[in-house]
Amino acid sequence: MTRSLELAARECLSEPCAAMLTPGGIEEIQDGLKRKRFTSVDLVKAYLARIDEGPRSLHGIPILLKDNIATLHSEGMNTTAGSYALLGSVVAGESFVAAQLRAAGAILLGKCTLSEWANWRGTVPSGFCGRGGHGTNPYVPLGNPSGSSSGSGIAGAVGLATATLGSETDGSIISPSGNCNVVASSRRWGLLRAQGYVVLLWLRLIPISEHQDSVGLMCRSVADCAIVLSTIAGRDPHDSYTLNQPAQVPDYTKALKKDGLRGVRLGVPRKVLEGVDANVLIAFNKALKDLTELGATVVDPADFGDGWDYEEVQNREDVVLCGDFKVNIHSYLSKLVDVPTGVRTLADLIKFNEDNREKELVEPYWTDQARFVKSNGVHQDPAFWEALEWDYRMGRQDGVDGLLKKYGVDAILIPTARASRPAAVAGYPVITAPDVALTEASPTRMNGPNMPFGISFLGTAYSEFQLIQYAYAYEQATKHRLEKKAYPEAIPKTQLADVMGK
């Protein structure tokens, strides 16, 4: 408050203009201006000072959301899963996470491209969607960004927003984060549900599977993940999946301890690392030495139960996802306020793509919709429920929980390339941090010089706080993310200083 405004306030405490201390009505303010008790400049400064007194947790922070997370159509943001089939569709309301961000003062800057339909349409290279074209890795020209949250990973890597949100069914957040050199926190079971798989009336994420879909964060640091997660986690009254979580959301920033690995026991499931790129394994083994030097005890090997087979888990998971998709996408489409294309069923989607091949089934690499076709013929029959129960058992009792108990470890450490499936079928949290691997070029550009990779910390239900602690300690000690630079053409030229004052 300026001196002239302070004097005016003291001089007229018994007059109407005293209301300026709790700004009064227009007539009172005009009276103060006429009496020259204060100026219009004083008045504006007072209001701005009051606004500054109450910043919210993400006040003014620009955030991008994956284009399958519902945002308000009235604000000009489509929710399309990257497909022309849903262009102009109107959701009944924004997603829980979008509302939480808005309430925290964040600026919803826009939507990110993605691997179309969260990489579920068919066998199509990661990063492609009809509406956005093909996104590629910012570290390797024409490189694989991975998917399906490819756009969120790319945008986060090159600083197009302070943080980005993605969704994960199995690897769709942590895999592009590993490839794009950013930190990812993918929650499972109820901490950040996409909203409403039991109360389907309120479904506001374009789904694949009610049993595995989740929303997560992609940031350039563990600290940023902790800040945003503290804001957007919580129980959603419209989504019964979230009601089992602890009533009080932790302050995840309290987990940011540089000595957070001291005394921690980490298990390495060696058997599931078979087939991982040799260069990634070299870097991963180096990371194990770094973790030991930081005070952790690494139990290696610490394998899942004898019945745990990576490929068989994938096969059973496929039954679950196909069975869920048809039911869940029909529910989502039926609740849309408007769909200009008239698409309301999975069969409609398949036909729309065939009728619009020049936009959606683009030659030569992007023509497949085999997963759509397969899902359209799958039902939630006894085989579906048996596969779901088997996956839960493999993910939990014979997977994550079994390993933690058998070896007496606090978390599982695993290259990001193998981290998603155990977490996905268990419904458990995972956080990935950048690491460094030297990789060779290949014609497919799945790898290439300068391609990043990540290591992941995987834990039991609601162990996000501990996983953030471990990842933060590792990140701060190694600073691996800073060792890689995007290739020149992928680096934005505009910096904050370039626009200040203009």
Q: Is 172 among the residues known to form the active site?
A: yes
Average pLDDT, the chain: 88
Q: Is 148 among the residues known to form the active site?
A: yes
Beta-bridged to residue 432, according to DSSP, are 184, 456
User: Do residue 9 and residue 118 come from a single domain?
Assistant: no
Number of domains present in the structure of the chain: 2
User: Do residue 93 and residue 14 come from a single domain?
Assistant: no
The answer on pLDDT for 13 being more than 50 is no
Q: Tokens 């989740």 map to which residue?
A: 214
Question: CA 373 to CA 380: how far, in whole Å?
Answer: 16
Chain segment 226-262, per-residue pLDDT in tens: 999 999 887 777 666 676 777 788 999 999 999 999 9
Name the catalytic one among 146, 172, 185, 230. Answer: 172
Q: What is the pTM of this model?
A: 0.88
User: Do residue 89 and residue 213 come from a single domain?
Assistant: yes
Structural domain includes residue 366: no
Where b means 16+ CB within 10 Å and e means fewer, 444-480 reads ebbbbebbbbbbbbbbbbbbbbbbbbbbbbbbbbbeb
CB of 84 closer than 8 Å to CB of 360 = yes
Edge-to-edge strand ranges of the sheet holding 265-267: 107-112, 62-66, 163-168, 214-219, 183-186, 430-435, 453-458, 411-415, 265-267, 297-299
The answer on pLDDT for 159 being more than 80 is yes
In the chain, the N- to C-terminal Cα span, in Å, equals 26
* Two structure tokens written together for 450: 């300068």
Chain segment 305-325, per-residue pLDDT in tens: 988 999 999 999 999 999 999
What was the pLDDT predicted at 26?
87
User: Do residue 188 and residue 46 come from a single domain?
Assistant: no
CB of 406 closer than 8 Å to CB of 398 = no
Chain segment 38-76, per-residue pLDDT in tens: 999 998 888 888 878 887 889 899 999 999 999 999 988
In 3D, which of 78, 91, 67, 86 has the Cα closest to residue 336?
91
* Two structure tokens written together for 10: 């003291």
In 3D, which of 56, 78, 77, 110 has the Cα closest to residue 232?
56
Question: CA 255 to CA 261: how far, in whole Å?
Answer: 11
Percent of the chain with pLDDT over 90: 72
**pLDDT band at residue 439 using 50, 70 and 90 as cut-offs:** low
What was the pLDDT predicted at 188?
56
What was the pLDDT predicted at 440?
56
Structural domain includes residue 494: no
Structural domain includes residue 89: yes
Structural domain includes residue 304: yes
Question: CA 31 to CA 11: how far, in whole Å?
Answer: 14
Name the catalytic one among 89, 115, 146, 148. Answer: 148
The answer on pLDDT for 110 being more than 60 is yes
Read off the CATH number of the domain in which 100 is found.
3.90.1300.10
The answer on pLDDT for 187 being more than 80 is no
Structural domain includes residue 361: no
Quote the domain boundaries for residue 150.
62-308+393-488
User: Do residue 108 and residue 226 come from a single domain?
Assistant: yes
User: Do residue 45 and residue 69 come from a single domain?
Assistant: no
Largest CA-CA distance found in the chain, in angstroms, rounded: 85
